[in-house]
Amino acid sequence: MSMTVTQMFEALPGRFLAENAGDLTRTVQWHITDAEPGIWAFEINHGEGRLIRGGVTNPDTTLTTTTETWTAITEGRQDPMRAFMTGKLSVEGDMMLAAKLQKLFDLSPR
């Protein structure tokens, strides 16, 4: 049974790789646009991570995608960079931060 988008985001803190964050202080936000719409942010502050339901006003990076693409990414069936390159995932803001996300979260299949 697949998890809902909300359950996937609630599991995100457990997938955060704090050792790879170093002294990074940034906020990443996801905007899911269709079947299970919503906005979630993840604040990274010197190796600590915190999920924020409903998002924040000024995230450093916002990733926008569909439920299907986000599910595939979190289940390890979709490479996030490929999703971006094929237009399934859009990024606004700090592109370098978006590129680091694969090192900040364990997105291996579960």
| pLDDT tens-digit map of 36-91 | 899 999 999 998 999 999 999 999 999 999 999 998 888 888 888 899 999 999 99
Task: Please give the structure tokens belonging to residue 14.
Answer: 């457990």
- Which of 49, 44, 2 is CA-nearest to residue 24? 44
Q: Are 63 and 38 in contact (CB under 8 A)?
A: no
State the pLDDT confidence band at 93, using cuts at 50, 70 and 90: very high
pTM confidence score:
0.91
Q: Which CATH class is domain 5-102?
A: alpha beta
Average pLDDT, the chain: 91
The residue ranges of every structural domain in the chain are 5-102
- Which of 61, 57, 73 is CA-nearest to residue 5? 73
pLDDT of residue 10: 93
